[in-house]
Chain A
Amino acid sequence: MKCERISELLPDYLQGSLSPDQHRNVEAHLEHCTDCSEEVAVWRKLSLLPVEQPSPMSRVRFEAMLQAYQAGRSNQSAGDSAWGKRASSWNFFRWLRSPLGVAAWSAALLVIGVFAGFRMAGPKPPSPDIAEIQKQLESTKQLVVLSMLQQQSASARLEGVSWSTREQQLNPQVLSALLHTLRYDSSVDVRLAALDALSRHSAQPQVRSSVVNALQEQQSPLMQVALIDQLVEWHDRDAKPHLEKLRQSQDLNPAVRQHADWAISKLN
Chain B
Amino acid sequence: MTLAPDEDLMLQVRDGAGEMLGVLFDRYQTPLFNFYSKLTRDRMRSEDLVQQVFLRILKYRQSYRPGTPFRAWVYQIARNARIDHFRKFPREKAFEPEMLPPVRPTDSAQEQQEVELLHRALLQLPEDKREILLLCRFQELKYEEIAELLGCELNTVRTRIHRALQELRKSFHQLTQDRLKPANTASAQNLPPRGGRHEV
Question: Judging by beta carbons under 8 Å apart, are A259 and B59 in contact?
Answer: no
Could you say which of A45, A89, A90 contacts B114, with CB atoms under 8 Å apart? Answer: A45
Query: In the assembly, what is the distance between CA of A65 and CA of B165, in Å?
Result: 39
| A residues 48-101 in Cβ contact with B at 8 Å | 48-55, 57-59, 61-63, 65-66, 69-70, 73, 81-83, 86, 88-90
* With known contacts A52-B101, A166-B48, A86–B18 Cβ distance under 8 A: yes
| B residues 112-127 in Cβ contact with A at 8 Å | 114-115, 118-119, 121-122
Tell whether A229 is near chain B: CB-to-CB under 8 Å. yes
Give the shortest distance, in Å, between A104 (CB) and chain B (any CB): 13
Looking at chain B, what size class is its interface with the partner chain?
A: 35 or more
Tell whether B97 is near chain A: CB-to-CB under 8 Å. no
Question: Judging by beta carbons under 8 Å apart, are A38 and B169 in contact?
Answer: yes
Contact pattern, B 19-40, Cβ under 8 Å of A = 1, otherwise 0: 1011001000110011001100
Query: In the assembly, what is the distance between CA of A232 and CA of B16, in Å?
Result: 56
Tell whether B149 is near chain A: CB-to-CB under 8 Å. no
Give the shortest distance, in Å, between A86 (CB) and chain B (any CB): 6
Name which of A5-13, A186-194, A207-215 contacts chain B: A5-13
Give the shortest distance, in Å, between B149 (CB) and chain A (any CB): 16
Could you say which of A55, A82, A90, A229 contacts B47, with CB atoms under 8 Å apart? Answer: A55
Give the shortest distance, in Å, between B135 (CB) and chain A (any CB): 12
Question: Judging by beta carbons under 8 Å apart, are A43 and B162 in contact?
Answer: no
Tell whether B76 is near chain A: CB-to-CB under 8 Å. no
Question: Judging by beta carbons under 8 Å apart, are B195 and A262 in contact?
Answer: yes
Could you say which of A11, A88, A130, A137 contacts B59, with CB atoms under 8 Å apart? Answer: A130
Question: Judging by beta carbons under 8 Å apart, are B89 and A35 in contact?
Answer: no
* With known contacts A66-B18, A82-B16, A52–B173 Cβ distance under 8 A: no
Tell whether B83 is near chain A: CB-to-CB under 8 Å. no
Question: Judging by beta carbons under 8 Å apart, are A8 and B158 in contact?
Answer: yes
Query: In the assembly, what is the distance between CA of A44 and CA of B47, in Å?
Result: 27
Q: Which residue of B lies closest to A87 (CB)?
A: B19
Tell whether A1 is near chain B: CB-to-CB under 8 Å. no
Tell whether A203 is near chain B: CB-to-CB under 8 Å. no
Tell whether B64 is near chain A: CB-to-CB under 8 Å. no
Q: Which residue of B lies closest to A85 (CB)?
A: B16
* With known contacts A54-B46, A166-B44, A49–B30 Cβ distance under 8 A: no
Tell whether A121 is near chain B: CB-to-CB under 8 Å. no
* With known contacts A49-B119, A51-B30, A83-B16, A69–B58 Cβ distance under 8 A: yes
Give the shortest distance, in Å, between B93 (CB) and chain A (any CB): 12
Could you say which of B19, B55, B133, B142 contacts A46, with CB atoms under 8 Å apart? Answer: B133
Give the shortest distance, in Å, between A192 (CB) and chain B (any CB): 15
Complex interface: chain A residues within 8 A of B16 (CB):
81-83, 86
Question: Judging by beta carbons under 8 Å apart, are B18 and A65 in contact?
Answer: no
Q: Which residue of A lies closest to B33 (CB)?
A: A54
Contact pattern, B 132-169, Cβ under 8 Å of A = 1, otherwise 0: 01001110001100000000000001100110011011
Question: Judging by beta carbons under 8 Å apart, are A50 and B103 in contact?
Answer: yes
Could you say which of A39, A81, A89, A165 contacts B19, with CB atoms under 8 Å apart? Answer: A89
Q: List 12 A-B contacts (CB under 8 A).
A: A39-B165, A39-B169, A42-B172, A49-B122, A50-B103, A59-B29, A62-B25, A62-B54, A65-B55, A83-B18, A88-B19, A137-B55
Cβ-closest 7 pairs across A and B: A82-B16, A54-B33, A11-B158, A11-B161, A42-B169, A39-B169, A90-B22
Task: Supply 8 further A-B pairs (C-beta < 8 A) apart from A7-B162, A83-B16.
Answer: A52-B34, A52-B38, A62-B22, A62-B29, A63-B22, A70-B18, A229-B197, A233-B198
